[in-house]
Amino acid sequence: MSPACQLGLIRSSPLMRGVGMDIFILTGYLGPVLGSIVGSFITHSHLGWRWVMWVIAITAYDFIVVVFFFTAPETYAPALLTRKARRLRLQTQRWALHSRLEESDTDLKSFTKTYLVRHGVCSG
């Protein structure tokens, strides 16, 4: 049920929740069935068994692009405040409005310290 909660199915209306849960559960059953059929066709064609993995990778990439760039809303609060500050600057013509995210410059040294060194220290 946890992935269903992450998809927002729990907070939706009862009518849409039923349809969403049906589709969510149906993918769990259709994936292995259709995957084995399509994989068998690809394997027995001139492409060979290695192309099964390529088809999976290409399909997964397409799905990720569609979900994250076209349907998933931004939820990171500093990014939302940056967009709001940019919109208010243009509407009010007050160029002093900015968010805290815009105050800090991200250079290579701070990026390396934050995402590479800290990760190594925390994991080791």
- One-letter amino acid at 92 equals T
Q: Which residues contact 82 (CB under 8 A, 6 or more apart)?
A: 99, 101, 102
Q: Is residue 84 located within the same domain as residue 26?
A: no
Instruction: State mean pLDDT over 57-66.
Output: 88
Domain of 55 in residue numbering reads as: 2-71
Q: Is residue 92 located within the same domain as residue 67?
A: no
Could you give the number of structural domains in the chain?
2
Is the pLDDT at 71 greater than 80? The verdict is: no
Q: Is the whole model's pTM more than 0.85, yes or no?
A: no
Higher pLDDT, 101 or 83: 83
Using CA atoms, how far residue 52 sits from 25, 69, 70, 97, 101, in Å, is 24, 26, 27, 52, 43
Q: Are 101 and 78 in contact (CB under 8 A)?
A: yes
Question: Which ranges constitute the DSSP H helices of the chain?
Answer: 2-6, 14-44, 50-66, 77-92, 100-103, 108-112, 118-123
* pLDDT score of 57: 92
Q: Is residue 112 located within the same domain as residue 64?
A: no
- Percent pLDDT > 70 in the chain is 81
* pLDDT score of 91: 93
Is the pLDDT at 123 greater than 70? The verdict is: no
